[in-house]
Homo-oligomer: A and B are copies of this chain.
Amino acid sequence: MYQVRTDLALEAKERFSGDRTEVKGVRVQEEKNGNITVTKVLIETENGAKAMGKPKGSYITLEAPDMAESDEGYHREISRQLACILKELMPIESRELSVLIVGLGNREVTPDALGPRVVDNMMITRHIIRKFGKYAFGLKRNHQISSIVPGVMAQTGMETLEIIKGVLDETAPDYIIAIDALAARSTRRLNRTIQITDTGISPGSGVGNHRHALNRESMGIPVIAIGIPTVVDAVTIVSDTMNNLVSAMEETRKLEDLGKSISRLEEAEKYELIRELLSPSLNAMFVTPKDIDESVKRLSFTISEGINMAFFPA
């Protein structure tokens, strides 16, 4: 079956519409905190993973309608919720951790700069605690935070994973927190959703991106991933409009015949048709909002403050 790329479990779930809203092996919980919606998608079985196209684990999303706009500052309330979620996923309050923050992505391409920019604003403590001891900060828990921005292969000539693995071997952290810009399926979600997951980064679930996974299996320690969708694949945009076209046709009297002809096509034929029509260069293209600079700047603060709050409560 054809599936357009999405890095969001929430969107993967939404594909199952109509009669099929229940997916076996997948549980969904939703709650509201003020105007922030927190949704947990728990993929509990291998079958669920297969259906969703995502590895087993917890996917928590924070959504707020005004996240894409600026309030006075960087959405402090969202940072707070993010801190709470991190404390649930890691034993931050019960012991001292050594955590490597990884800022994935390309700093030079605006929508891909989210990870590097989060790292720019992290409170880094590992070198200070190692030099001056655990009383350097006078805190209850002295977490050792380190960070790296590995860059992208076109800049380094190396796999991102090779670099992270090397750093890991030398510094032996307990946890990795990886921040990355994601691809959504729908433009409506861009810059409006934060996804936190304990499954790491598994790009194989999307389309066209064959980096290996950054997860507990490949790294040997737990990997928490935090992401915000900042782009939609160009191919997705066009496919979606096509599908809208077909639905519209079926409902429009004037286009009745037209709709019927298309709906007679098999799903696979429809996808094949779209593929043929699309310019092959579209595969190397992405779609992003014109004001992406402001969103990435603001949202990188929302995330860095959330992480800072989790490890260093005021």
Q: Does A257 contact B (CB under 8 A)?
A: yes
Copy tally for this chain in the complex stands at 4
Contact across chains for B146 and A158 when beta carbons are under 8 A apart? yes
Chain B, residue nearest A121 (CB): B297
Q: Does A213 contact B (CB under 8 A)?
A: no
Contact across chains for A127 and B158 when beta carbons are under 8 A apart? yes
Give the dominant DSSP class at A's interface: helix
- Chain B residues whose C-beta falls within 8 Å of the C-beta of A81 in the assembled complex: none
Contact across chains for B279 and A187 when beta carbons are under 8 A apart? yes
Chain B, residue nearest A261 (CB): B258
- Residues 82 to 120 of chain A near chain B (Cβ within 8 Å): 106, 108-110, 119
- Chain A, residues 145-165, CB within 8 Å of chain B (1/0): the string is 111110101111111001101
Chain B, residue nearest A278 (CB): B241
- Chain A, residues 235-246, CB within 8 Å of chain B (1/0): the string is 001101110110
Query: Cα distance A70–B289 when bound, in Å?
Result: 28
Q: Does A294 contact B (CB under 8 A)?
A: yes
Query: Cα distance A10–B29 when bound, in Å?
Result: 54
Question: In angstroms, how far is the closest chain B Cβ from the Cβ of A236?
Answer: 11
Contact across chains for A157 and B146 when beta carbons are under 8 A apart? yes
Partner of A287, one of B126, B153, B234: B234
